[in-house]
Structure 1
Amino acid sequence: MPYVLGIDLGTSSLKGILMNEKGEVIKTKSATYPIDTPKQGFSEQRPEYWVVALENVLTGLSVDVADFGDELIGISFSGQMHSLVVLDKNNTPIYPAILWNDVRTTKQCQEITERLGDRLLEITKNIALEGFTLPKILWLQENEPEIWKKVAQIMLPKDYLGLWLTGKSHTEYSDAAGTLLLDIENHRWSKEIADAFGVDRSILPDLVESTDQIGVLKEELKARFKINTDVKIFAGGADNAAAALGVGLINEDMGLISMGTSGVVSSYEPKIADYKGKLHFFNHTIPGKYYSMGVTLAAGNSLNWFKETFGKGLTFNELLADVYTVEPGSNGLLFTPYIVGERTPHFDSNIRGSFLGISAHHQLKHFSRSVLEGITFSLRDSKDMMEKTKGKKFQKLISVGGGAQNPDIMQMQADIFNCEMVRLTVEQGPGLGACMIAAYGCGLYTTLEEVTKVFVHYKEATFLPKPDHVKKYNTIYGIWKDIYGATADISHRLINSNEEE
């Protein structure tokens, strides 16, 4: 039975998922690598780390799966977005990759915004943030001019692996959309933006669809990993786009709620939508389609911070064991998860979190529940924006990440979102989307919808909103939304006072 391999290039590890044509996982392998932080605010990786990790994964699969070399027919990718890879004329990396979570580029973001004004949003559908690729390019131009002179090609992380496997350069639209250089609606690099910042378009990779074949596995690699088949390589997608495909986000009536370190709300968009920069808007892995995305910077991170600070020594199960005994609203206690600033809808790096309404009767279980509620309220900000701006009406929300493993959190999500919540039978993350792209590209299925029916499965048990809880949460959420406006100035003044000391 033929196999496809999805390679997920994450921030701290690379994961390979080997699946058969029935959508069954044959084997997974992973390899880790470091994040280099040479200065405060810097976050870098050497592309060579990724190659070594991929070599380890391929070697492990060839050893552990007896027919790997005879049955592998296709490979595709998902990868961390925005990170800047620069190569010389020999396709050799000449500077560490500047990662998506690097924050050295505030000055460059201001420059982009001032120079392009409304045109940036009109062309890219996004606003300038430190995570995007273009600010990193400007930083390199300004701070490493000798390096910049040698740049012959700019790439994104997963595409560097595609180059290593095939010898050919490319990127696809879902990753290109996160650079601030793509004309999203017209599916081409923006001459206007590139010219404004001295970026020769000849150094930008060719654009392809996520499902396009970009080459075949090089002969020397086939020999090294004992592969006897002609393996087709497909472009793949940015991690969030691949994750959306991997959970079945292929129509408008479903949304995705992801609660990891950060929290993400994603929605399928069949055509261009204008969210005025309040949400991220990117090309999907599905050709010609898009997705919108809201981000809560500290979702699981808020819960982890709370546990380590106030519940040290407790497991998460112990910390949350009694939250079901607390009524919605945590007896008048509210939490805002702004402990590292906030993205959607405020885009405020200087806002800080708060507990509001503390009284003498509050116990650890009230605080624990209020943290969960605050995270979910923040995610609701993004969901409500999608519904109010575009008139969406979600029939179901797919919950993934840590929250999906806890029935109390799932019920809370159903009540706060006022929507049926569903879970996957098995979570494989963005790598599953990469496998689906490879399966479709290899012709195992004629449409991505067919692949989804085979590869994506939901648990039969779902969580439905409780009307009395929905009513109470609607009232509390209305109060919660006022906290940002009431505390933003105080947060900013506190930060300024600390800087002055």
Structure 2
Amino acid sequence: MKYVIGVDLGTSSVKTLLVSKDGEIKGEATASYPLIQERPSYSEQNPEEWVNGTVACLKELLQTSGVSAEDIEGVSFSGQMHGLVLLDEQNRVLRNAILWNDTRTTKECREIEQKLGGKLLDITRNAALEGFTLPKILWVQKHEPELFAKAASFVLPKDYLRYRMTGRVEMEISDAAGTLLLNVPEGKWSDEIASAFGLPEGFCPPLVGSTEGTGTLLPEFAALTGLSPATKVFGGGADNACGAVGAGIVRKGDALCSVGTSGVVLTYEEDKSKDFAGKVHFFNHAHPGAFYAMGVTLAAGYSLSWFRDALAPGVGFSELLQNVGEIAPGSEGLLFTPYLVGERTPHADSVIRGSFIGLSGTHRRDHLARAVMEGITFSLQESFDLFRQAGITVDRVISIGGGAKNPVWLQMQADIFGKPVVSLKNEQGPAMGAAMMAAVGSGWFGSLKECADQFIGYGATYEPIPENVEKYARLFKLYQQVYEATRSLNEGLQEFRG
């Protein structure tokens, strides 16, 4: 039996998955590493931590699985997006990586908008947000000019890890789409944007595809892990692209709903002319020539965690939610907006904060808990509504993450989205998507679509209940009014916040 490895390089840990040719998981290993947060709004990591964690995981996979290194054909990657790793001419790291959740770059975002105007959306199809890479590059350029003068190129987190494994400095295209330096429709770097900000020639590394071969393991890296130097290495993908592949979102009509700390809705698209005016993200997909549109709710699962920790400390989620199914849709006239840390889609607003609207003396904890679940799902529905307005048809939604672990929430999603919602039998997320890219790259399958048919098993399907769909449609219209109704109030409250 032959095997591949998927490496998911996350923000807090790296997860590795060993998968056989028939799609069975034969081993997994995880290693955590710290964030560096020296000041408010700063979030950095030492790239060496990624390498050390990955080496430890790969060694553990071999030791615990009993699989021979010679039977492992390939390895590929999923990676946290947008993180800036600056390299000098010898490909040495110049400073800690600035991560996606670092928000120090608001001024740089405004500078990008002022300099590029409408060209930004025409070229990149995405608005300038603090999480993206170009604002981070400009921040270093402005605040650390002596260091930036030494910079010869930049890569993203998983691409740096791949460089350490192969010795090749390249960037994979689905991740490059989140830099604000890529011409997304054309799938190539934008010389116009790079020159507008004085970036040196060759600063953007060569692009590779997700299933494209990028060489084999360096002998010294193979020796550290126990893997064979003949192990093939493939491009991989951005974490959201890999999560989509790992959930089987590789065909038109399928969409993903993922509820983690944040929430993501994502749909497969092949028409590069789609234009959402920057209200949702539009990135190159891992599948060659395809794209995905993506909306983000900043505080999805986090809203439920906050509710539990603030109002029911010490109570487990199963106990907290055990009675929400007995509460009728609408939580007896109670709405919740999950803007606890601001919002991303469709309101790119760092000042807005959450609300309970309609709270009365008859409401109990179960009502509030259901309202929080409904509010999170309404926020995700705002992205689906934007997809609909852009002419994208969604036939079914694959649900993963925390929202997929609760049958009441799965039914709620079906009713609010008005679409069938499907769970997965064995959810492995981006690590499985990365393994699938290695499987396709190794020649086991002709495409990610063929691989998905073999590797992914679907669980229960939740069909929309017509009367609930109708009720939630009316509630959704009320939900959409809350943002504008509370926006100025939150602006006034900002001076009182700690």
TM-score when normalising by structure 2 = 0.98
Cα-to-partner distance string for 1:2-60 (whole Å, 9 max, x where unaligned): 11000000000001100011010000001000000011110000100001001101111
Cα-to-partner distance string for 1:259-318 (whole Å, 9 max, x where unaligned): 000000000011211000000000000011100000000000000000001111211111
Q: How does 1:259-298 map to 2 (within 5 A)?
A: 259-272=259-272, 273-298=274-299
Name the structure 2 match of 1:60.
60
Distance apart, 1:184 and its partner CA: 1.0
Cα-to-partner distance string for 1:347-374 (whole Å, 9 max, x where unaligned): 1110110001111111111101000000
Q: Distance in 2 between matches of 1:234 and 1:431?
A: 14
Distance 1:228 1:280, change over 3 A: closer
1:34 partner SS? coil
Which residue identity is paired with 2:481? Answer: D
Name the structure 1 match of 2:388.
387
Cα-to-partner distance string for 1:437-482 (whole Å, 9 max, x where unaligned): 10011111122211110111101x2111111111111111111111
1:128 partner SS? coil
Q: Distance in 2 between matches of 1:320 and 1:293?
A: 28
Q: How does 1:302-381 map to 2 (within 5 A)?
A: 302-381=303-382
Which residue identity is paired with 1:377? Answer: F
CA contact (8 A) 2:56 2:225 kept: no
Q: How does 1:136-215 map to 2 (within 5 A)?
A: 136-215=136-215
Q: Distance in 1 between matches of 2:412 and 2:314?
A: 25
- Is 1:439 aligned with 2:450? no
Which residue identity is paired with 1:463? Answer: Y
1:201 partner SS? coil
Q: Distance in 1 between matches of 2:54 and 2:365?
A: 44
Q: How does 1:124-135 map to 2 (within 5 A)?
A: 124-135=124-135
CA contact (8 A) 2:19 2:435 kept: yes
2:248 partner SS? coil
Name the structure 2 match of 1:258.
258
Q: Distance in 1 between matches of 2:348 and 2:228?
A: 51
Cα-to-partner distance string for 1:185-224 (whole Å, 9 max, x where unaligned): 1221111100111112312110111111011011223333
Distance apart, 1:498 and its partner CA: 4.5
CA contact (8 A) 1:73 1:229 kept: no
Q: How does 1:17-32 map to 2 (within 5 A)?
A: 17-32=17-32
Q: Distance in 1 between matches of 2:226 and 2:410?
A: 45
Q: Distance in 2 between matches of 1:170 and 1:35?
A: 25
- Is 1:410 aligned with 2:410? yes
Q: Distance in 2 between matches of 1:395 and 1:11?
A: 32
Which residue identity is paired with 1:196? Answer: A
- Give the number of aligned pairs: 497
CA RMSD of superposed structures (Å)? 1.1
Which residue identity is paired with 1:479? Answer: L
CA contact (8 A) 2:214 2:235 kept: yes
Cα-to-partner distance string for 1:323-351 (whole Å, 9 max, x where unaligned): 11111100001100001000000111101
Q: Distance in 2 between matches of 1:380 and 1:281?
A: 17
Q: Distance in 2 between matches of 1:229 and 1:87?
A: 25
Distance apart, 1:393 and its partner CA: 2.8
Between stretches 469-478 and 371-380, larger displacement belongs to: 469-478
- Is 1:490 aligned with 2:489? yes
Name the structure 2 match of 1:235.
235
CA contact (8 A) 2:218 2:229 kept: no
Q: Distance in 1 between matches of 2:117 and 2:223?
A: 52
Distance apart, 1:162 and its partner CA: 0.7
TM-score when normalising by structure 1 = 0.98
| Identity across the alignment (%) | 49
1:174 partner SS? helix
Which residue identity is paired with 2:456? Answer: V
Distance apart, 1:77 and its partner CA: 0.4
| Runs of 5+ unmatched residues, structure 2 | none
Cα-to-partner distance string for 1:117-138 (whole Å, 9 max, x where unaligned): 1000000000100000000000
CA contact (8 A) 2:29 2:57 kept: yes
1:385 partner SS? helix
CA contact (8 A) 2:82 2:179 kept: yes
Q: Distance in 1 between matches of 2:399 and 2:26?
A: 24
Q: Distance in 2 between matches of 1:129 and 1:28?
A: 34
Distance apart, 1:387 and its partner CA: 1.1
CA contact (8 A) 1:71 1:229 kept: no
Between stretches 223-232 and 56-65, larger displacement belongs to: 223-232
Which residue identity is paired with 1:383? Answer: F
Q: Distance in 2 between matches of 1:497 and 1:367?
A: 26
CA contact (8 A) 2:36 2:44 kept: yes
Q: Distance in 2 between matches of 1:447 and 1:261?
A: 31
Distance apart, 1:68 and its partner CA: 3.2
1:370 partner SS? helix
CA contact (8 A) 1:83 1:99 kept: yes
Which residue identity is paired with 2:347? Answer: H
Which residue identity is paired with 2:262? Answer: S
Which residue identity is paired with 2:176? Answer: A
CA contact (8 A) 1:264 1:296 kept: yes
Q: Distance in 1 between matches of 2:186 and 2:358?
A: 50
Q: Distance in 1 between matches of 2:472 and 2:294?
A: 23
1:306 partner SS? helix
Distance apart, 1:497 and its partner CA: 4.9
Which residue identity is paired with 1:316? Answer: F
Q: Distance in 1 between matches of 2:224 and 2:111?
A: 47
CA contact (8 A) 1:263 1:298 kept: yes
1:204 partner SS? coil
Distance 1:286 1:213, change over 3 A: same
Cα-to-partner distance string for 1:214-235 (whole Å, 9 max, x where unaligned): 1101122333333346111000
Q: Distance in 2 between matches of 1:357 and 1:67?
A: 58
CA contact (8 A) 1:72 1:229 kept: no
Which residue identity is paired with 1:358? Answer: L
Q: Distance in 1 between matches of 2:75 and 2:81?
A: 19
Q: Distance in 1 between matches of 2:14 and 2:377?
A: 29
Which residue identity is paired with 1:300? Answer: G
Which residue identity is paired with 1:21? Answer: K
